[in-house]
Structure 1
Amino acid sequence: MDFVKIILFISLIYGLYAKQKVPAGACVSKIVNGKLVQIGDCEKNDGSDIVRLIKKSRDEKIKAETKCDVTYKKKCYRAVVYDVRNVTFTDAKAICKSKNGKPANIYDLKHYQLLLPYLRSPIPGGGWPYIAGQILMRIWTGMEYKNNQLLLSNGKPITIATEVWFPDYPSPEASRTNVGVVVDKDPEYADQGMFNRSPSHSFHGVICEI
């Protein structure tokens, strides 16, 4: 008899707990392992919970994918790089678009100097040699060089400090319309900086402005 009373008491407590978790007439919706799980009276639910959960899940995913690695003048920057040179400018645009951004502009000398340590960070100690003895990374920006004029990604002309350019650049060749950055693991190495190339060239990646 005592055993039966104990079972009934446990059942009563569990029932009260369940009622506290999901009030009568309420519908609780959760996403568990990528699937929608609903508890309670969900037959009359108008679907707003589902819409809200989907939006929240999407927003959290976008936020995680578009985190700022560098911030300059309230703009967010994030580089995507690979250990092989396999990214054309067309690829670079697609990569940044997937991050809800675009290939980045470099607005001035201070901005360039802020980005350099960050761009060097993914280069391994052994480097990715392009010429023996160099530890280089080439990365796209969103800028262009046309008719002897540096342009932002929106086509607006801009002037930038000469020390930002790679030695003997920018090149006047008409086919070299797109601007990248050569970065060496050694900050004291002379041959690094912005340079212009044909958009069909393959670089290690792109710096995105988000």
Structure 2
Amino acid sequence: MDFLKIILFISLICGLFAELKVPAGACVSKIVNGKLVQVGDCKKDDGSEIARLIKRSRDEKKKAQIKCDVTYKSKCFRVVVYTVLNVTVNDGKVICKSMKYGKPANIYDQKHLKLLLTYLRSLIPAGKTTLSIWTGMEYKNNKLFLSSGEPITIATEDWFPTYPKSDALNTNVAVRVDNDPKTKYQRMSNTPPSWKRNGVICEI
């Protein structure tokens, strides 16, 4: 019986190594049945690789457990809303980070903005007609930037009337939504980061 177990174990290992064919000089690591299996040129033996794989596995599980309020192009967006205007840009960054929601979000195009506006409209508190939420985008030197610093162009009709402002203090972008989906007094605006909003859109 022990001989049979040894044969089966050797077959399993050979099968794993056959499956994990890698180019010369490369290293592939996997956790199989709770054990680290490495194939190729794997020189580290200090436990750092298994720690990295465990962390990645945990991160993926956490991300899978997070329910997205809006999903767009495989990106997950969560919205944190308060009934009062009490969130500055810095507050928004802290909220997203502390609640494991990543960072204040980008708006990637007109279709994405419309999806967000529809969802935000459903969050307007009873007795209120509007809601204003921070994003992670910035407006500087008459240019709009994603949180990564990459410039992006958004259609004029996606801005609140008379926006964007060219004032150097109006560096951060918020989204305002109205109960009435047809009113022009909603969409994006750029304002000083110290202004207070109802919350923040987070991008995971």
Scaled by the length of structure 2, the TM-score of the pair is 0.68
**Separation in 2, partners of 1:70, 1:170:** 25
2:110 maps to: 109
Residue 58 to residue 142, structure 1, CA distance change in 2 (3 Å): closer
C-alpha deviations, 1:12-57, integer Å up to 9, x for none? xxxxxxxxxxxxxxxxxxxxxxxxxxxxxxxxxxxx9xxxxxx999
Question: Map of 1:51-200 to 2, 5 A cutoff?
Answer: 63-64=64-65, 66-98=66-98, 99-127=100-128, 135-200=129-194
Select which of 181, 192, 195 maps to 1:201. 195
Q: Which amino acid aligns with 2:94?
A: A
Deviation at 1:209, TM superposition (A): 0.5
Matches of 1:57 and 1:144, distance apart in 2? 32
Read off the aligned partner of 2:188 and give its amino acid letter: M
CA distance in 2, matches of 1:63, 1:137: 29
Q: Contact 2:117 / 2:187 at 8 angstroms: preserved in 1?
A: no
Distance 1:58 1:148, change over 3 A: closer
Instruction: Give, in whole Å, the separation in 2 of the partners of 1:158 and 1:60.
Output: 32
Give the aligned residue type for 1:159: T
TM superposition shift of 1:100: 3.6
Larger Rg belongs to: 1
Aligned to 1:36: none
Q: What TM-score results when the alignment is normalised by the length of structure 1?
A: 0.66
Q: Return the alpha-carbon distance in structure 1 between the equivalents of residues 164 and 59 of structure 2.
A: 42
Residue type at the aligned position of 1:79: V
Query: What displacement does 1:62 show?
Result: 6.3
Unpaired runs of 5+ residues, structure 1, are: 1-47, 49-54, 128-134
Tell me what 1:30 maps to.
none
Q: Which residue matches 1:34?
A: none
Amino acid in the other structure paired with 2:105: A
How far did 1:190 drift?
1.8
Aligned to 1:186, the other structure's residue is in SS state coil
Gap runs ≥5 in structure 2: 1-34, 36-54
- How many residues end up aligned between the 2 structures? 151
